[in-house]
Amino acid sequence: MKGEINLFGMSIQLLISLFVPLALIIYGRKKGWLSWKAFGVGLLIFILFSQVFEKILHFLVIDPSGTSLKGTNNVWAFVAYGALAAGIFEEIGRYVGFRFMLKNNRTYGDGLSFGLGHGGIEAVLIGAFSAVNMMVISHLVQTGDFEQVASSLPATQADMIQSMLNQSDWMYVLGGIERIFAIAIHVALSLLVLYGVRNGQFRYVVYAILIHALIDVVPALYQVKVISNIWVVESILALIAIASFVFIRRMSEKFH
């Protein structure tokens, strides 16, 4: 029964992570602001700067346990590194995208599209793929094949997978909802960086880096168990997402 409940939660996470970006794409096309070029560049920038460049640095700097830096067990050093790395790589990536790849695509709609591409592919890679992976692992557990797979993995990774399998269904649903929050935040930060590029003011990129880093401090603190209540984390992210939505609406005036 436990496996069935988790499978339900995983399915909800998968559906949210896939269909919310798709619904926003359809909405953008209907409203006439969706730019496929800006959307594609946002998608490409996320993969390149977050999933390639940032991951290379993580491999060099983060301990295999995933909760500390190599050479030090200082929790705050890990939190600071994780938050700043995400902020620097992703916001510099946005700057590169708008500054050099979208010279003729710098309207308000382009900013929305870039952020949707950036946040949408993150939802697919982190939310949808994660749900699919856990579904596969759940199937292996039910068929009795998981132990054979786990024996070939590092102990810390096997323990982490087992811990995720033991999560209740609402944790997976919450993971899907978090992807919605993330998309709103990515769109807002994309507009902030684009505004700086349009006006030739790099300081807005610096603002975006600092804001992104501050936001990422919250999940980083949960990762190292300084914050133990997931509802505290998600409540903060929900408030940030609401503030991002308000910012997105108000930035329309700045562009028009």
CA distance 128 to 179: 10
Residue 57, token pair as written in the block: 């640095």
In eight-state DSSP terms, residue 235 is: H
What confidence category does residue 138 fall into, taking pLDDT thresholds of 50, 70 and 90? confident
Mean pLDDT of the chain: 91
State the pLDDT at residue 168: 82
CA distance 213 to 190: 15
State the pLDDT at residue 140: 79
Lowest mean pLDDT among 26-40, 75-89, 104-118, 164-178: 164-178
Give the DSSP H or E segment for 151.
none
CA distance 156 to 179: 26
State the pLDDT at residue 218: 95
State the pLDDT at residue 153: 65
In total, the chain counts a number of residues equal to: 256
Give the DSSP H or E segment for 233.
helix 230-255
State the pLDDT at residue 4: 47
Sign of the dihedral through C-alpha 195, 197, 198, 202: positive
Q: Are 192 and 208 in contact (CB under 8 A)?
A: yes
Q: What does the radius of gyration of the chain's CA atoms come to, in whole angstroms? A: 19
> Interior CA angle at 127 toward 149 and 55, to 5°?
75
- Region 208-215: what's the mean pLDDT? 98
pLDDT tens by residue, 217-244: 999 999 888 999 999 999 999 999 999 9
Beta bridge partners of 59: none
pLDDT tens by residue, 169-198: 889 999 999 999 999 999 999 999 999 999
Q: Which of 9, 38, 10, 24 is nearest to 183 (CA)?
A: 24
Q: Are 198 and 145 in contact (CB under 8 A)?
A: no
pLDDT tens by residue, 58-103: 999 998 877 889 989 899 999 999 999 999 999 999 999 999 999 9
In eight-state DSSP terms, residue 19 is: H
